[in-house]
Every structure is written in structure tokens, then in C-alpha cells.
Structure 1
Amino acid sequence: MKRVLLIIILVFISGCQSSDETSRTVNMYNSSGDMIGTVQLTEGDGGVDFKVKLEGLEPGYHGMHVHEYPKCDQPDFTTAGSHFNPDGNEHGLMHPEGSHLGDLPNIEAAPSGLVDAELMLPEATLKDGKKSLLDGEGTSLIIHKGQDDGVSQPGGESGPRIACGIIAKDEKESTETPTDPTNFNEKQEE
């Protein structure tokens, strides 16, 4: 009887645990505030898996990085800070001494402007810890106009930031539209 009760309790506890720590949907916005798609983040065996579904990008390769702050203020998204780099490494997936934790492979937009890609960010996590994308207030995901060359410092010469999405502990914050600083006073009054 005790064994059956224990099994029922364990099943109940595992069924009630939230998947908030193991997945996030990040809405991506361009500098005009238009939503251009989503990125689904899921805790994987060796890191965080990214399923990227975007539209409206210029055809070709674009750098994509996790940045250190969960801020996507338009139009240039500089409030997102630098690349997420808890270990203090150099930039670039091809750098011989290791890369920023937030350095992702380039994504490729088809001639139609669509991106449908699956990437992996090794060693990153959505759980607690130094390498958590949700540590503190969270981080952000930035897409750049050009291709990341994989070695140039500090950011791969990938050009201006053209899209941003917030990776936040609170899933609701990951789906909010970015802030337009020209409307800051209006938003404060609401």
C-alpha cells in the first residue's frame, strides 16, 4: 500500500512540475516593432536547442547571438548589451581559445526572406546556474544584418542589430513587444 501511494505521489509531482524551466518561446521583433517570428528554446542534453522560424529578413546569412540583458529598446537594440559571456572568452565560434557562450551559428534567410533553422547552444541552460540564459533578469536574442565571420572581435563584424527578442524567466516577458524609447513617457503615464 505504501509503495502504491509513493508511486502516485511521484507521478503527481512530476505531472505538476512546470516546463517553464525547460522551454521558452521568444517573440522576435524588427526595429519597427513588427513581430517577424519566434524562436523556441528547449533544454537539451548538452545545451539549449533553438528552433528558429522567421520571415521578412534580407536573403543571405545573418549573425545571431544571445546578449547579456533582457532589453530590446528600438530602433537599434543596443540596450541588450554585449554578447552573453559568463566565462570571459573571446568572440567567435572559430576562435581557438573558445567563444562567448552566446555565440550561435549564422542563420540563412531564403530568397523569400524566410528562416527555418535548428541550432544548439552548447553548455547553456534554462535552469539555474552561471550559464543560464535566465540568470538574473534574463538575456536577449539578437539578429544582425550581416554574417558573423566567427573570429573578429568583439562581435564578428556582423553589422547592425536588426531584430531582438527577450529571453526572460517570466515567459510572459519573452512575448512582450520591445520598447520604443520615443514612447517612454506615454508608457510611464499609463
Structure 2
Amino acid sequence: MKYLKKTSLFLLTIIILSACSSNPKKAVAVISPKSGSDISGTVTFTEQDGMVTMTAEVRGLSEGNHAIHIHKIADCSSDDGKSAGGHWNPTEKNHGKWLQDPFHIGDIGNLVVDETGKGSIERKTDLWAVGGENDLKNVVGHAIIIHQGPDDFSSQPSGAAGARIGCGEITRK
């Protein structure tokens, strides 16, 4: 009987710990139109086992590439999206292309938009976190900005991507 109790307690502990590690943390930015655009969509950040997967799905854009970045401030109140501030760049690196030095962690890249106006992009990294005390990694409390044009990955400080046509505040879910 004693053995059965110990085994049961051990198995219960394993089940509880497994459930904790498989419960992902999530944050979402709902994209609203700016600068007279018709854009809509969502950007979802899911953290599990130290890795964050970001998935952006938008519609209402012209065909082609459109820059997408994380900006400093979770404020989409202005009509032009400028209330979100500049790029989120806590490490103070030059603007560039995702995972190619130099780049900063607000540099996501370009959404590829098809002829129906739908676009998406996905990134997976350990450079971001969903919540927590590390301001160098925490995406919550920042904003997603989608631009009118493509990011050229070299113009400083933001890639010469044109007007801000979509904005979403990143909030924990």
C-alpha cells in the first residue's frame, strides 16, 4: 500500500509538471487601419519552452511586400500610427534584416501579400518573450506596425518602408 501511494504521488507530480510546461503563454495584436487603409488582421505571439512563434495574418493590402515591425509603444491612437513611436530596439543596433547582423529585434521583415490582399509571415525565435521581467525580450506592451511599402533592410533607422497603414497593440492573453 505504501508503495502504491508513493507511486501515485510521483505520477501525479509528473502529470502536473507536464501540464505546466505545455501551457503556452500568448499575446495578440489586433491590427486596425491607419493612414486611410483598409487593413485588418491579427499578429499572435505564442511562447512555449523558451521559444516564441509569431504568426501574422492580414488582409486588405495591395499585392506585394509590406514591412512589418515591432514598435516601442503600445499606442495606436493616432490616425497615422506614429503614436507607436519608433522601432523597438532595446539593444540599440542598426536596422537590418531578420537574423542577419546587424539587426534589432523589432525588425521582423516583409509580409508577402497575394493578389487577394491577404498576407502572412511567421517567425520563431528565442530573442523574444511573452511577458516576464526581461525588457530586452518582452514583446508585451509594444505595437505591431505594418507599412505601405517593403522594408529595404538597410535604410536607417527604419527601412524606408513608407506610411504606417496598420497598427496593433501587443497585449497578453
Q: Does 1:164 align with 2:167?
A: yes
Q: Does 1:82 align with 2:107?
A: no
Sort the Cα spacing of 1:101 and 1:95 in 2 relative to 1 into closer, same or farther, 3 A: closer
**Whole-angstrom distance in 2 between the partners of 1:34 and 1:88:** 33
Q: TM-score, normalised by structure 1?
A: 0.75
State the Cα distance separating 1:13 from its structure 2 match: 5.7
**Whole-angstrom distance in 1 between the partners of 2:98 and 2:28:** 28
Q: What are the equivalent positions in structure 2 for 1:91-102 lying under 5 Å apart?
A: 91-93=95-97, 97-102=101-106
Query: Cα RMSD between the aligned structures?
Result: 2.8
Larger Rg: 2
- Residue pair 2:27, 2:170 contacting (<8 A) in 1 also: yes
Q: What are the equivalent positions in structure 2 for 1:18-97 lying under 5 Å apart?
A: 19=23, 22-31=25-34, 36-43=40-47, 47-93=51-97, 97=101
- Residue pair 1:46, 1:123 contacting (<8 A) in 2 also: no
Aligned residues: 166
- Residue pair 2:98, 2:108 contacting (<8 A) in 1 also: no
Sort the Cα spacing of 1:156 and 1:122 in 2 relative to 1 into closer, same or farther, 3 A: farther
Sort the Cα spacing of 1:124 and 1:17 in 2 relative to 1 into closer, same or farther, 3 A: closer
Q: Does 1:131 align with 2:112?
A: no
Q: What are the equivalent positions in structure 2 for 1:179-190 lying under 5 Å apart?
A: none
State the Cα distance separating 1:120 from its structure 2 match: 3.5
**Whole-angstrom distance in 1 between the partners of 2:146 and 2:163:** 9
**Whole-angstrom distance in 1 between the partners of 2:105 and 2:57:** 22
Unaligned runs of 5+ in 2: none
State the Cα distance separating 1:56 from its structure 2 match: 0.5
Q: TM-score, normalised by structure 2?
A: 0.81
Sort the Cα spacing of 1:35 and 1:111 in 2 relative to 1 into closer, same or farther, 3 A: closer
**Whole-angstrom distance in 1 between the partners of 2:20 and 2:49:** 22
Amino acid at match of 1:43: E
> Which structure 1 residue ranges, 4+ long, deviate > 6 Å from structure 2?
none
State the Cα distance separating 1:43 from its structure 2 match: 2.2
Q: Percent identity?
A: 32
Sort the Cα spacing of 1:38 and 1:97 in 2 relative to 1 into closer, same or farther, 3 A: closer
Unaligned runs of 5+ in 1: 172-190
